[in-house]
């Protein structure tokens, strides 16, 4: 079945550092891809998405590009803030079911 693999955390960065969180997927066909974020004490919320190869999703300074050739959807941000501290989940939409990765915790210090 479909699966999503994320880099393990926690990822610890200083404010204004560059962020990359790796995500790769295994799926039959070409699923839509998503990044969800879970801030402390809150529910998951959609951060960005891409629906086809070479699409770039972006929101709140975060970006991710759908790379069919490497089956990847890495999350990037040029300059992180303390408020970006959260758990980030990569997900793939295969056969009408959303499959999540295990999540990567990001800790940003001042």
Partner 1 sequence: EAEVAQSPRYKITEKSQAVAFWCDPISGHATLYWYRQILGQGPELLVQFQDESVVDDSQLPKDRFSAERLKGVDSTLKIQPAELGDSAMYLCASTPEGGDTGELFFGEGSRLTVL
Q: Give the shortest CB-67-to-partner 1 separation in angstroms.
A: 18
Name the residue with tokens 């070409």.
30
**Contact residues for partner 1 (CB under 8 A)?**
4, 32, 34, 41-46, 49, 89, 91, 93, 96-98, 100-103
**Encoding tokens for residue 60?**
């709140």
CB of 35 to partner 1, least distance (A): 11
Closer to partner 1 by Cβ: residue 36 or 77: 36
For partner 1, the closer of residues 17 and 93 by Cβ is 93
> What are the two backbone dihedrals, phi and then psi, of residue 53, each rounded to the nearest 5 degrees?
-55, 140
64 contacts: CB under 8 Å, gap ≥ 6? 23, 33, 35, 48, 50, 56, 57, 58, 73, 74, 75, 76
Minimum CB separation of residue 91 from partner 1 in Å reads: 7
Q: Tell me how far, at minimum, the Cβ of 49 lies from partner 1, in Å.
A: 6
Tokens representing residue 13 in the block? 């960065």
């Amino acid at each position: 079945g479909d699966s999503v693999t994320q880099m393990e955390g926690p990822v610890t960065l200083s404010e204004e550092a560059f962020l990359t969180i790796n995500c790769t997927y295994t799926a039959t066909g070409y699923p839509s891809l998503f990044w969800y974020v879970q801030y402390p004490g809150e529910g998951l919320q959609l951060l960005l998405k891409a629906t086809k190869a070479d699409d770039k999703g972006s929101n709140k300074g975060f970006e991710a590009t759908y790379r069919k050739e490497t089956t990847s959807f890495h999350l990037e941000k040029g300059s992180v803030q303390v408020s970006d501290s959260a758990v980030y989940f990569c997900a793939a939409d295969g056969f009408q079911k959303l499959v999540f990765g295990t999540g990567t915790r990001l800790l940003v210090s001042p």
